Amino acid sequence: MTRSKNTREKLLDTAIDLIWKSNYTRVGVNEICKCAGVTKGGFYHYFETKADLFFEASMHHWEQKQPELDEVFSPRYTPIEQLENLINHILDHQSEESGDDNPVLGCPFFTAGAQVGTGEDKVREAGRIMCANALKYDVALVRSLKADGYLNSDCDSEQVARMMLQYIQGLLLYGRTHADLELVRRDIRTGLYRLLDLKTEYRVQAQPKAA
């Protein structure tokens, strides 16, 4: 049972790693199997298609990622510190995880959903679920920022949170297209401040990190 579980998890982890550093359409079953050290027969024992693997890998990745986000948005931080934690978390992840010649990883769930054709429902579903998971944190953050008086306007929290998510994903895609992490560093804070309509006195460069 343990060996079977390890084989399955190895496929899940390998798929996410390869797709994150490349993209869904370029990474094939053969490459996943080779890098995971699993035969194609072993692959098809667990998954019918690459799309099935991607969906399960997305859910597996979220289970691993959720504790990190819980720490980033921990209530022991003020809302403004949570915002800075989020920015630093995104930037640190690019620096730590990049394994190819492109310093910007982007997001495999967001980009894969945009790449696939009409027959890849599971890939788009994975993207929708992952976006919904992330959006819950963003909505809570915007509501806290608004309630504690950090924002200039009485905004629609859910709409602004969606715009934050869209901006972050779009910026990472733009940065990856140009292979320019410094571009992302320059724009992410300013862009989020403007979307949130953060009061001027809180638009500082302090960068507290989640412990």
Q: Is 134 exposed, middle or buried (0-12, 13-18, 19+ CB in 10 A)?
A: buried
Q: What is the CATH number of the domain that holds 108?
A: 1.10.357.10
209 within some domain: no
Place of tokens 């027969």: 41
Per-residue CA distances from 20 to 15, 94, 108, 181 (Å): 8, 11, 5, 16
Residue 26 to residue 22: CA distance in whole angstroms: 7
Domain interval for residue 147: 50-202
> What is the number of H-type helices and E-type strands within the chain?
9, 0
Q: Write the pLDDT tens digit of every residue in 10-61.
A: 999 999 888 887 778 889 999 999 999 999 999 999 999 999 999 999 999 8
| pTM of the shown model | 0.86
28 within some domain: no
* CB within 8 Å of 5: residues ≥ 6 apart: none
